[in-house]
Amino acid sequence: MTHDYMSFSPSTTSALGSPFSTPSTRELKSDERGIYLIQLLLRCAEQVSANSFDQTNQCLEHISMLASPTGDTVQRIASYFTHALALRVLSSWRGFYIVLNPPPPTPAESLAARRHFFDLCPFLRLSYMISNQAIMETMEGEKMIHIIDLSFSDPAQWVPLLHLLRDRKEGPPHLRITGINEHKQLLDHTALLLSEEAERLDISFQFNQVVSRLDNLDPSLVRIKTGEALAISSVLQLHCLLASDDDAAAARKGTPFLTSRNSCSIAQFHRIVQMSQGTLGELLEKDLLLNGYSMSPDSASSSPFGLPPAPKMERFLSWLCGLSPKVMVVAEQESNHNGFSMNERFMESLNYYAALFDCLESTMARPSAERMKVEKLVWGEEIRNIVACEGVERRERHEKLERWVQRMEMAGFGSVPLGYYTLLQARRLLQGFGCDGYKVREENGFLHLCWQDRSLFSVSAWRRRRFD
Amino acid sequence: MAADSSSSSFFRIGDEFNNTPTQPSATPSSSGPPPPPPPPPPPLPAKKKRNPGTPYPDAEVIALSPKTLMATNRFICEVCNKGFQREQNLQLHRRGHNLPWKLRQKNTKEVQRRKVYLCPEPTCVHHDPSRALGDLTGIKKHFCRKHGEKKWKCDKCSKRYAVQSDWKAHSKTCGTREYRCDCGTLFSRRDSFITHRAFCDALAQETSRLPTSLSSLYGNNNITSLQTQTHLRPFDIHQPQPQPMFFGGGSSNQIDQSLHGLMQQQQQQQQQLPELQSNQNSAAHLIMSSDQFSIGNGGGDHHHHHHQATNLFSGNSLLSDNTSGHMFNQQVMPQMSATALLQKAAQMGATTSSNTSSLFRGFSSSSKLDNETQLQNLMNCMLNPKPNDTLTRDFLGVGSMVRNMGGGSMSQRDHHHHLHHHQQQQQQQQQQQHQGMEMGSLDHSDMKSGGSSSRSFPGGSLL
């Protein structure tokens, strides 16, 4: 009796295991199917970027026979990624796209889905806890605290902070939170919950709302009072700002996005290489930047280090730095989904979301509705954005921590290492959570939230750097 | 006033919690409500205690040397050389020697000048006159605590103290009053307990909805099915070295292969014990049962084997297909995770064009697998064994890029190598692999180039 282990291809599905009947072939099939799906996905992505419509069509059909949002991990991922790919192709036919493009979830739906994400995975909880811990430590002894939340929508972030403040040795401070969000109803809803909680805990609390997107935020709406200790929090939000820079870049180049994207990216690459040669000038400009001087868009990059230019982000970060916060906590997805070419983004995001989907696969049952919601409305939407959209629409511009570090440092921030105590608290939280695969790792003073050694989120803390 | 303090690390806070704070907080904060007034002062113009952190401008600064500070008996009787801590006590003692004595009274005529004391340790914050401490006993204790050797040890726990009164105070309360959170953490202080519990309450609600942890569930499963199924002698799987085999947890491919191996080889060496996820009990069961249940005469009795095999598989199916309501069936062990599959797909190379293979290569192995799935990975890929020949090994470990995207045979050998290498590496720390595996993405502008020099672009652009 010989077993023939060959490279997995669909034809071998039935060849395996005669006396080792049902369980083995079933097991094998799902893994094998997984591999096959992955191969198909990659081929499909390649065809999409090569603009070969017919082959893409075939590929999508093939995949759709195997993929399903209710199947195993790879099937689910495949279904969301192919959906995104199909939309991407469709977007070149504007009319069809507009008619058939599924509407994005309503704010209420995405809030509910995000709530499920908070419940099912510890990442949000950890980020909130780390950020609150950082705030507590910096704000020791402060009587007036002002927090600016760049993505204010989750009361679960701030309620624990209220508790921590109340239990503070020196008593609770006067707390003021400025929440920024583009949806008014989220702001209202969350503010109400927070005010009630603060009332219950007898903490003096004041809320200011700013209904705006980050990229067209009017600075004058955010009022800073003298005598306040300022903290800024950004949980999975900062990356959106990178989107608006694309418009400027495209305008400069004058090339439309979808079709000649390939050449565009190479050109950009060359441009970056050229720019990195002019370091001295850029370093000088960095000084101006630190004084809040806004740079003209034409001076392009302020990065001699290979960062793609992002003037809008730079301006925003310098403005924030200019407010002199005592601490700014940034939590971001740890993956590079901001590559120029769709293929790069596809591969990166395939790996990244595979890990995320694995998290849920190990902790929740397949038919679970909450899990479906998270996968569809939180991650599915992100995937759609990363793969199918371009330009200003593509807001999920995740980047790795090293890039964020560069950006923050260029804007004048210096990193504040998150201490050992915070790490301990994070680990304790994970213990309470009860699932084995999640880990917290510390690296250079930043914390990485991992699933099985793959870092999925990074949390970092910053303050204004002094130059003495 | 909102000056950001220059705290460069958040480490301090742990410290602060541990020390019973007798000193004012280090940050010069704005003035809040003053601390409660001290017990009724002696009949003197009451020296009002001001807020901590605001020094008295007209105080008399006294700097004592460490010896003087620590001197327990400063007042010595000249007759019998007995030492006393207070002068009053010495005077009273002198009465016994019929020596002239005088009890010196506190001078109530003049206003007493405030005395503040400096810590003799130059590196200490309180060495600076502007941060002097107002109380002699206080400075003594401070000096002991911070700069002294901890000679007093609590017998119940492991805490050590430099000041005897601290030690006494602690041993009175050690173990007497403890707060225990539902999650099992112990606290001695009420405030830290409450803070923690605010978190933990939230956690408790969430976790009560979540299924219990994987291992306990799986462990139970394992034991029951093992006991019913018994048997399974550990197998030799083509390799001279013993391997950890994930019994029951491995995918059936592995078992397939193992049985295959058994049938091929007639000897029944006792190999390394199959590793189970949880208890040693189940391992013990396994060993015992495997002894009882000898898998017969090598390849002789196929029926017997077959029977074993199906037993085994029905055992497996019990494990994996158990749909009786618990949530983890078919999850971690029998099926590979998506990240594992991605890795595997990358290793297997493409069956298609070189373009796709370049895509595969770009599969950043920034996601790492845990050992188990990696091993399964490899064992699944393992083909007919070929002896190691002189092909270069891939020392970057499992997740590295496959160098040749050639035909299937190449990849066979690569996998073989991976398996070998992997076995050796498996015991080592994952950090080692981390370097090899952290190949950056194929982003142009990502300056951190992937570590593998073996990466080769097949000419074409990635785009």
Which tens digit of pLDDT belongs to each residue from B398-448?
443 444 443 444 444 444 444 444 444 444 444 444 444 444 344 444 444
Query: Would you state the pLDDT for residue B348?
Result: 81
Interface test with A, best of B189, B441, B461 (most A CBs within 10 A): B441
Number of residues assigned to chain B: 463
- The pairing of strands A454-464 and B60-63 is unpaired
Confidence of residue A390 (pLDDT cuts 50, 70, 90): confident
Q: Which of residues 111 through 130 in chain A touch B, CB cutoff 8 A?
A: 119-120, 129
Q: Which residue of B has its CA nearest to A323?
A: B2
Query: Would you state the pLDDT for residue B207?
Result: 55
Confidence of residue A268 (pLDDT cuts 50, 70, 90): very low
In chain A, what residues touch B30 (CB-CB under 8 Å)? 141-143
- The alpha carbon of residue B442 is apart from the nearest alpha carbon of chain A, in Å, by 6
In chain B, what residues touch A7 (CB-CB under 8 Å)? 348, 351, 408, 411
Mean pLDDT of A364-369: 85
Interface test with B, best of A347, A455, A468 (most B CBs within 10 A): A347
B230-252 per-position pLDDT tens digit? 443 444 434 444 444 433 333 44
In chain A, what residues touch B463 (CB-CB under 8 Å)? 49, 261-262, 265-266, 340-341, 343
Provide the Cα torsion B254, B257, B259, B265; round to 10°: -140
Put simply, whether A87 touches B (Cβ < 8 Å) is: no
Give the residue from B282, B296, B259 showing the smallest Cα distance to A3: B259
Put simply, whether A266 touches B (Cβ < 8 Å) is: yes
- The alpha carbon of residue B301 is apart from the nearest alpha carbon of chain A, in Å, by 13
Mean pLDDT of A39-59: 90
> 3-state secondary structure string, chain A?
CCCCCCCCCHHHCCCCCCCCCHHHHHHHHHHHHHHHHHHHHHHHHHHHHCCCHHHHHHHHHHHHHHCCCCCCHHHHHHHHHHHHHHHHHHCCCHHHHHHHCCCCCCHHHHHHHHHHHHHHCCHHHHHHHHHHHHHHHHCCCCCEEEEEECCCCCHHHHHHHHHHHHCCCCCCCEEEEEEEECCHHHHHHHHHHHHHHHHHHCCCEEEEEEECCHHHCCHHHCCCCCCCEEEEEEECCHHHHHHHHHHHHHHHHCCCCCCCHHHHHHHHHHHHHHHCCCHHHHHHHHHHHHCCCCCCHHHCCCCCCCCCCCHHHHHHHHHHHHCCCCEEEEEEECCCCCCCCHHHHHHHHHHHHHHHHHHHHHHCCCCCHHHHHHHHHHHHHHHHHHHHCCHHHCCCCCCCHHHHHHHHHHCCEEEECCCHHHHHHHHHHHHHHCCCCEEEEEECCEEEEEECCEEEEEEEEEEECCCC
- Between A41 and B323, the higher pLDDT residue: A41
Query: Would you state the pLDDT for residue A378?
Result: 92
In chain A, what residues touch B9 (CB-CB under 8 Å)? 416-417, 419
The answer to whether residue A286 scores a pLDDT higher than 70 is no
The answer to whether residue A323 scores a pLDDT higher than 70 is yes
Q: Which of residues 386 through 425 in chain B touch A, CB cutoff 8 A?
A: 408, 411
Render each residue's pLDDT in chain B as its tens digit; 463 residues: 444 444 444 434 444 444 444 444 444 444 444 444 444 444 444 555 666 666 677 778 888 888 877 777 778 888 888 888 888 888 888 888 888 877 777 666 666 778 888 888 888 888 888 888 888 888 888 888 888 888 888 887 778 888 888 888 888 877 776 777 777 777 777 777 777 776 665 555 555 555 444 334 333 444 444 344 444 344 443 444 444 443 333 344 444 444 444 444 444 444 444 443 344 444 344 344 444 444 334 434 444 444 443 443 343 433 334 433 344 444 444 677 888 888 888 888 754 444 444 444 444 444 444 444 444 444 444 434 444 444 444 444 444 344 444 344 444 444 444 444 444 444 444 444 444 444 434 444 444 443 444 444 344 443 4
A93-134 per-position pLDDT tens digit? 889 888 988 888 898 898 999 999 999 999 999 999 999 999
Put simply, whether B51 touches A (Cβ < 8 Å) is: no
With an 8 Å Cβ cutoff, are A452 and B370 in contact? Answer: yes
In chain A, what residues touch B214 (CB-CB under 8 Å)? 362, 435-436
pTM above 0.80, yes or no: no
With an 8 Å Cβ cutoff, are B463 and A355 in contact? Answer: no
A410-459 per-position pLDDT tens digit? 999 999 998 888 998 998 898 888 788 898 999 889 999 999 889 999 99
Query: Would you state the pLDDT for residue B301?
Result: 44
With an 8 Å Cβ cutoff, are B4 and A324 in contact? Answer: yes
Put simply, whether B338 touches A (Cβ < 8 Å) is: yes
Q: Which residue of B has its CA nearest to A453?
A: B368
- Between B261 and A238, the higher pLDDT residue: A238
Q: Which residue of B has its CA nearest to A430?
A: B203
All residues at 6 or more sequence positions from B440 whose CB lies less than 8 Å from its CB, including other chains: B364, B366, B446, B448, B449, B450
b (16+ CB within 10 A) / e for B31-66: eeeeeeeeeeeeeeeeeeeeeebebeeeeeeeebee
- Between A223 and B273, the higher pLDDT residue: A223
In chain A, what residues touch B348 (CB-CB under 8 Å)? 7-8, 35
Tokens of A235: 């949980």
In chain B, what residues touch A432 (CB-CB under 8 Å)? 183, 200, 203-204, 207
- The alpha carbon of residue B103 is apart from the nearest alpha carbon of chain A, in Å, by 44
A157-183 per-position pLDDT tens digit? 999 999 999 988 888 899 999 999 989
In chain A, what residues touch B217 (CB-CB under 8 Å)? none
Return the minimum-mean-pLDDT range out of A11-25, A72-86, A350-364, A448-462: A11-25
Confidence of residue A199 (pLDDT cuts 50, 70, 90): very high
- Between B387 and A315, the higher pLDDT residue: A315
Mean pLDDT of A10-33: 50
The answer to whether residue A55 scores a pLDDT higher than 80 is yes
Put simply, whether B255 touches A (Cβ < 8 Å) is: yes
Q: Which residue of A has its CA nearest to B383?
A: A5
Q: Which of residues 77 through 136 in chain B touch A, CB cutoff 8 A?
A: none
With an 8 Å Cβ cutoff, are B9 and A129 in contact? Answer: no
Q: What is the ipTM of this complex?
A: 0.71
Put simply, whether A5 touches B (Cβ < 8 Å) is: yes
The answer to whether residue A404 scores a pLDDT higher than 50 is yes
Backbone angles phi, psi at B391, to 5 degrees: -60, 140
Tokens 């290498």, located at residue: B421
Q: What is the rounded distance in angstroms from the CA atom of residue B363 to the CA atom of residue A40?
A: 14
Closest CB from A21, A140, A419 relative to B11: A419
Closest CB from B252, B342, B370 relative to A38: B342
- Between A170 and A267, the higher pLDDT residue: A170
Give the residue from A105, A193, A103, A121 showing the smallest Cα distance to A152: A193
Query: Would you state the pLDDT for residue B122?
Result: 84
Would you say A314 and A407 are in contact if contact means Cβ atoms under 8 Å apart?
yes
With an 8 Å Cβ cutoff, are B257 and A3 in contact? Answer: yes
Query: Would you state the pLDDT for residue A79?
Result: 93
Q: Which of residues 371 through 430 in chain A touch B, CB cutoff 8 A?
A: 400, 402, 416-422, 428-429
Q: Which residue of A has its CA nearest to B182?
A: A432
